[in-house]
Amino acid sequence: MPDDKQIILSVSQLNAQVRRVLESFIPRLWVKGEVSNMTAHSSGHLYFSLKDNGGQVRCVMFKAAAQSLLLLPQDGMQCLALADVTLYERAGQYQLNIQQLQIAGQGELALAFERLKNKLFQEGLFDPEHKRPIPKYPTAIGLVTSPTGAVLRDIIKVIKRRWPLCQLILNPVPVQGLGAGDKIAQAIEQFNRFGRVQFLIVGRGGGSAEDLWAFNEEAVARAIYESKLPVISAVGHEVDFTIADFVADLRAPTPSAAAELAVPDLAEVRSGLSDFGVRMKNALLWLASRYEQRLKAAGRSYGMMRLADLVEQKSQQLARTQKQLGAVMSWQVGLLKTRLDGLSLSLAALGPGSVLARGYSICRDQQGRVIKDSKTIKPEDSLTAEFSRGWAKTTVKETGR
Q: For residues 386 and 388, give the distance between their C-alpha atoms in angstroms, rounded to a whole number.
A: 7
Give yes or no for residue 160 having a pLDDT over 80: yes
Give yes or no for residue 357 having a pLDDT over 80: no
Q: Are 158 and 168 in contact (CB under 8 A)?
A: no
Count the alpha carbons within 13 Å of 281 in the hemisphere toward its beta carbon: 6
Give the phi and the psi of residue 321 in degrees, each rounded to 5: -65, -40
Give yes or no for residue 302 having a pLDDT over 70: no
Across 107-122, average pLDDT: 90
Give yes or no for residue 27 having a pLDDT over 90: yes
For 78: left if phi > 0, alpha if psi spans -120 to 50, otherwise beta; the answer is beta
**Lowest-confidence segment of 191-200, 236-245, 298-307, 340-349 by average pLDDT:** 298-307
Neighbours of 372 (CB within 10 A): 8
pLDDT in tens, 372-396: 787 788 888 888 888 778 888 888 8
Q: Which residues pair with 234 in a beta bridge?
A: 203
3-state secondary structure of 239: coil
Give yes or no for residue 1 having a pLDDT over 60: no
Give yes or no for residue 83 having a pLDDT over 90: yes
Per-residue DSSP letter, 52: E
**Residues above pLDDT 90, as percent of the chain:** 54
Tell me: domain 131-264, CATH 3.40.640.10, correct?
no
Give yes or no for residue 317 having a pLDDT over 60: yes
The pLDDT, as a whole number, for residue 298 is 76
E strands in 211-316: 231-235, 250-251
The pLDDT, as a whole number, for residue 305 is 66
Across 265-286, average pLDDT: 86
The superfamily CATH assigns to domain 11-104 is: Nucleic acid-binding proteins (2.40.50.140)
**Lowest-confidence segment of 50-59, 212-221, 303-312 by average pLDDT:** 303-312
**Residues above pLDDT 70, as percent of the chain:** 94
Q: Considering the chain, what is the average pLDDT of its residues?
A: 89
Domain boundaries, the chain: 11-104, 131-264, 267-325, 354-395
Alpha-helical regions (H) of 138-230:
150-162, 180-194, 218-226
